Amino acid sequence: MAKTKWDPVKYNQVADFVAKLGEPLLVLLEPKLSDSILDLGCGDGSLTEKIKPLCQNVLGIDASAEMILAAKAKNINAVVKDAHNLDFNEQFDSVFSNAALHWMTSPNAVLSGIYRALKPQGQFVAEFGGFGNARIIVDALTRCLEREGIAYQNPWYFPTAEAYSDLLVQQGFRVEYIELFDRFTPLPKHLSEWLDTFGQAFFENADIQQKRHIINEVTNLLKPDLFVNGQWYVDYVRLRVKALKS
């Protein structure tokens, strides 16, 4: 799996909207004051912080040590852990995840760990990039890389609702709700900063000049579609899901 290095300060400048737009997911989570909750892929803990007063305890996990340090600075109970290798056993009433699962390219390993981590009747509530997510960007980026002869790895998993439902059912979950929807999302900064922060895996084989050139080319190509009234957007598509351990 390609490695993306996270800088919590830069992440906050380029993508603070990720946690804000994840807030409606807390409605689907319906936390109870007696609940133990796992926030999977908690990042810098911005949403974990919102969950904390609504339950008995919440644990944040993330594969990035830098992000876990940032979460701990918010006084959140958080540990570095790769969600492909969860080792929890019937410990949580809910597993929650916002904008993280599309980085995890072996979904069966992740889902079996989530299933095991949940108490009987526990729930899994998540939102992440679904089929067609950032398609305009991925298409332009991969076309430019191919034209330059630069090998790349696409680090993202964007499933359809049908494919993800099947995986959930195979693991033993009952799918209560699943929806794929478009969310054309304004960016706080230039698209080049989004590409630089999130697209690192695509540029692993590019030198700094090639990377600059490709980012420049991609942003020029995408301006007619993604630059609207002086504002850059990303063509996000979200997959939102609630599934129960049966």
Q: Which residues inside 171-210 make contact with ligand BEZ, applying CB under 6 A?
A: 198
Among 8, 41, 122, 129, the residue binding ligand BEZ under the rule CB under 6 A is 129
**Chain centre to alpha carbon of residue 176:** 21
**Chain centre to alpha carbon of residue 181:** 15
Q: Which stretch binds ligand BEZ (CB under 6 A): 51-59, 127-135, 145-153, 170-178?
A: 127-135
Q: List b or e across 121-137, with b for residues whose CB sees 16 or more CB atoms inside 10 angstroms.
A: ebbbbbbbbbebbbebb
Min dist CB 243 to ligand BEZ, Å, is 19
Q: Which residue has the tokens 């949580």?
A: 92
Torsion, Cα of 38, 41, 44, 45 (10° steps): -20
Burial of 167 (0-12, 13-18, 19+ CB in 10 A): middle
Among 63, 99, 178, 215, the residue binding ligand BEZ under the rule CB under 6 A is 99
Min dist CB 143 to ligand BEZ, Å, is 17
Q: Which stretch binds ligand BEZ (CB under 6 A): 22-30, 31-39, 128-136, 140-148?
A: 128-136
Q: Which is nearer to ligand BEZ, 124 or 198 (CB)?
A: 198
Q: Which stretch binds ligand BEZ (CB under 6 A): 31-39, 74-82, 111-119, 129-137?
A: 129-137
Question: Using the rule CB under 6 A, is 156 a contact of ligand BEZ?
Answer: yes
Query: What backbone phi and psi angles, to 5 degrees, belong to 231?
Result: -135, 135
* Residue 61 · residue 83 · CB < 8 Å: yes
Q: Which residues inside 130-149 make contact with ligand BEZ, applying CB under 6 A?
A: 133-134
Which residues contact ligand BEZ by CB under 6 A? Answer: 99, 102, 129, 133-134, 156, 198, 236
